[in-house]
Amino acid sequence: MKLTSVDWLIMLLYFVFVLGIGFALKRYMKTSKDFFQAGRALPAWICGLAFISANLGAQEVIGMGASGAKYGLETAHFYGIGAIPAMIFVGIFMMPFYYGSKARSVPEFLRMRFDEKTRALNACSFAVMTVFSSGISMYAMARLIQALHVFDSLFAAMGRPPEDIFTFSIVLSAVIVLAYIFLGGLTSAIYNEVLQFFLIIAGFLPLVLLGLKNIGGWAGLKASVPVAYMHEWKGVMHANTNPMGIEIIGIGMGLGFVLGSGYWCTDFLVIQTAMASKDMESARRVPLIAAIPKMFFPFLVILPGLLAIGLPTPKTTTTVRTENGAIIHEINVVSPQVAQGRGLVPAKINPVTGKAMLTASGQPLLDYDMATPNMLLHYFPTGILGLGLTALMASFMSGMAGNVTAFNTVFTYDLYQSYIHKGGSDRHYMAVGRWATVGGILLSIATAYAAINFNNIMDTLQLVFSFVNAPLFATFLLGMFWKRATGHGAFAGLIAGTAGAVLHHGLVLPIEAHAGIHGGWITVLHHYPSDMAQNFWGAIFAFSINFVVCIVVSLMTKARPESELVGLVHSLTPKPPRAHLQWWKSPEALAVAILLVAVALNIFFA
């Protein structure tokens, strides 16, 4: 693979542009509200595109492609079941509470509804989650740079082993993201996320069309991969008939209700973009605007993984030809990891040690994270390749930026201002936010190495979500719709739910996985058919334990007066005055239309 000057120019222009946005916005960062909340002055469509783009980091673009290669079309349930209904719910029911409460973060909302200790616990767990998520994006970025062999000659000239490129690439991506967040705060991240949205469409739509044409269309794809990979709905009635190894109850409850709703309704990474809107109606429309393109993104991010696994696996070949009376033998040699792979998905090499990674049974571990990058390198010519790689890099850095801006907000408002330095000036807190950005980046660099042990970063991400978002969603549901829920109940429920998720992880293990970061670090009582199945059921246990414990402890403790819960509990909150809109422009009408289209798409692919 050779990158030409055109490809390099396209990527260079992108980096210049993102850094230019940071420098251009620096002069507008006059207060902490400007830096952390974008001044709450952005239009709904900008925030809507940023809302979906905050989720379009490496976890989505690389992770969904990897899941498509590993689990097949069943991965589309992350959209039809795990995303669209939750995005509608947060827009219609939850944004009025978030935006109307004037909370600057999700943990701050928990303080208003419950108490200080619940806020502190969630702030700490959320900060850890954002650091891990940002680290996953750094890992994916470093793997891409390794695959491009960009710095091979430089490191060879310095006498350094090629494995050092992985660490160097992590640091390089971290410095770029740090620069534009340090300068422009949340506004800079949002505008870069909008840019990234259009780059991904421009870079991935040609890839899918070229791949489908090459493999013989939809019929050719179905003929090239196992039957179970192509059934979005038929395979989930029984766990042993689909690669994910999970049935309809696990999909519906674990993904659709707990993990999906827990992410879209409580994760400050995406909520912060909606809260940057200029008014309440705009904030309610933000998740709904984002849901429209979200319905069609499976075509862009899942199909590349399916196409990659369906293509022939490259093998070392020998060609014999005669030229001017001489017999010429041409040998096309492929590396062992490529030959031991499947399609364009290679066997995995540890990027730090350079050694092959194996399953528990000694078989080569497939590196599904390379499915989408290898598709780009396989199909795209000069110029288009530069655009596709730029789209990938944009998704990686957007994922890092979104998590880091969420981290610096939560750290500054919910930890530093609350427990370390309460009486500081606005300028002081903005400075703390900038240095928290530096700290978040450094911690993310450390966590990037944890993703090495997984062959699908989406598995890694859902594992983290099962510890944090799953129990938190139970707390939010009870807090918003049950006025009897107390701070003691919420705190005890979060502790018990998170502990339940950790205990579950320590007692179970996916088939073919090594005990440790995948689970089974206490003992192995049960084997799940896949990492994702383990994550779904872990989330179900965490949610259920939190739900029960919160109810029991709340009934045993004193509830807050109803007068203090106005605006925080659904039954006690009068409907706010609404803008005078024609019915077809209302958020409710938009939500119904989106739901109907989503149902139609699920029926079409059933």
The two beta strands, 326-332 and 317-323, are antiparallel
In this structure, the number of other CB atoms found within 10 A of the CB of residue 218 comes to 11
What CATH number does residue 240 fall under?
A: 1.20.1730.10
> pLDDT, tens digit, for every residue of 63-122?
888 888 888 888 888 888 888 888 888 888 878 777 766 777 778 888 888 988 998 888
Name the most confidently modeled range: 192-201, 277-286, 484-493.
484-493
Q: How many structural domains does the chain have?
A: 1
Q: Which run of H or E residues covers position 510? A: strand 508-510
Q: What is the overall mean pLDDT for the chain?
A: 81
Instruction: Note whether residue 348 is domain-resident.
Output: no
Instruction: Note whether residue 164 is domain-resident.
Output: yes
What is the torsion angle, in degrees rounded to the nearest 10, for the CA atoms of residue 48, residue 51, residue 52 and residue 54? 150
Q: With CA atoms as reference, report the closest residue to 181 among 29, 301, 58.
A: 29
N-to-C CA span, the chain: 39
Q: With CA atoms as reference, report the closest residue to 253 among 599, 595, 540.
A: 540
Q: How far is CA 501 from the centre of its chain?
A: 20
Which amino acid is residue 514, in one-letter code? Answer: H
Domain that holds residue 449: 5-34+44-313+368-605
DSSP secondary structure, 374-402, as one string:
HHHHHH--TTHHHHHHHHHHHHHHHHHHH
Contact 49, 252 (CB under 8 A): no
Instruction: Note whether residue 353 is domain-resident.
Output: no
Q: Among 118-127, 424-433, 476-485, 491-500, which stretch is predicted with the lowest mean pLDDT? A: 424-433
The DSSP bridge partners found for residue 364 are 358
- What's the pLDDT at 547? 95
Give dist(CA 120, CA 95) in Å, integer. 22
Which amino acid is residue 121, in one-letter code? Answer: L
- What's the pLDDT at 525? 93
The DSSP bridge partners found for residue 323 are 326
Contact 314, 117 (CB under 8 A): no
Give dist(CA 61, CA 41) in Å, integer. 29
Give dist(CA 119, CA 490) in Å, integer. 10
> pLDDT, tens digit, for every residue of 361-411?
888 888 898 888 888 888 888 777 888 888 877 777 777 777 787 788 888
Q: Which is it for the CA torsion 187, 133, 211, 290, positive or negative?
A: negative
- What's the pLDDT at 37? 55
Give dist(CA 67, CA 535) in Å, integer. 14
> pLDDT, tens digit, for every residue of 300-350?
889 999 999 988 888 877 777 777 777 777 777 778 888 888 888 988 888
Instruction: Note whether residue 102 is domain-resident.
Output: yes
- What's the pLDDT at 319? 76
Which amino acid is residue 249, in one-letter code? Answer: I
- What's the pLDDT at 441? 85
Give dist(CA 483, CA 489) in Å, integer. 12
Residue pointed to by tokens 């696996």: 313
The alpha carbons of the chain give a radius of gyration, in whole angstroms, of 24
CA-angle at 486, arms to 414 and 113, nearest 5°: 40
What is the torsion angle, in degrees rounded to the nearest 10, for the CA atoms of residue 211, residue 217, residue 220 and residue 224? 30
Instruction: Note whether residue 347 is domain-resident.
Output: no
- What's the pLDDT at 2? 65
Instruction: Note whether residue 356 is domain-resident.
Output: no
- What's the pLDDT at 521? 93
- What's the pLDDT at 505? 95
pLDDT at 580 over 70: no
Give dist(CA 18, CA 157) in Å, integer. 31
In this structure, the number of other CB atoms found within 10 A of the CB of residue 549 comes to 23
Instruction: Note whether residue 485 is domain-resident.
Output: yes
For 228, the 3-state DSSP assignment is: helix
Contact 345, 366 (CB under 8 A): yes
Contact 117, 111 (CB under 8 A): no
pLDDT at 238 over 70: no
- What's the pLDDT at 9? 84
